[in-house]
Amino acid sequence: MATRINKYLSEVGYCSRRIADRLIEEGKVTINGKVPEIGTKVEEGDKVEVKGQKIEKSTKPQNIYLAFNKPVGIVCTTDRKVEPDNVIDFINYPKRIFPIGRLDKPSEGLIFLTNDGDIVNKILRSRNNHEKEYIVSVNRLINRDFIQRMSNGVEILDTITKNCYVKKMGPKKFKIILTQGLNRQIRRMCESLGYRVISLKRIRIMNIKLDVPTGKYREFTKEEISELNELLENSTKTYE
């Protein structure tokens, strides 16, 4: 059965569909020696190559799921030429993996890495409402108005953020649980209300909690994978 090229690369664990689309646009993917368009389908017996490397479904690796405590200063990218301080070189894992989503360079905490491209969109799609929890410190005293406005939605990036859980943890510290993943969302929300983020740490994604030292990673347990799959059972993989 024919499969779209981005889905094919995702299913064999090479990369996510989004990254696959980018590789196709950059002309780094070929099907039978020809550069395809986005949406081109792979037929049985077609020869698929990425950067000259042959990619086959029969070579699909065992799924890898890592929970990594990203330090400040490390960039969540697989582009090792552009960013010398990238997460792939830092971890130096012996098999091909890529991060699910991002934490910006000044932020720290939990990020997933995997070779399972099929799971990425299920976790990241906003409409799937999967929780991500953060501890944030800001430069000014937090008041009730700040908590209420952060909870009820803030105008950033030409949209209003979704309602979320926000709890004061200290004079200048709060906890926030998001089901969205807008670019630099928490920092932009704070800036919109006249605050500046001093530190930002992600401590949970869905059922996986941050429990390893900074700069270290661990594999998901079988129980975590089973629970994660249950949480993702009704999640859509498609783009919004």
If you write DSSP's letter for every residue of 93-141 in order, what string do you get? -SS--EEES---TT-EEEEEEES-HHHHHHHH-GGG---EEEEEEESS-
The 3-state DSSP class for residue 55 equals strand
If you write DSSP's letter for every residue of 25-49 in order, what string do you get? HTT-EEETTBPPPTTPEEPTT--EE
Per this entry, what is the length of the chain? 240
The question of whether 104 is a catalytic residue gets the answer: yes
Whole-number CA gyration radius for the chain: 19
Q: How far apart are CA 27 and CA 71, in angstroms?
A: 33
Q: Which run of H or E residues covers position 225? A: helix 222-232
Q: Per-residue b/e over 29-42, b at no fewer than 16 CB within 10 Å?
A: bbbeeeebeeebeb
- Catalytic position from the list 21, 104, 116, 211: 104
Cβ–Cβ under 8 Å, residues 103 and 109: yes
Which residues form the catalytic set? Answer: 104
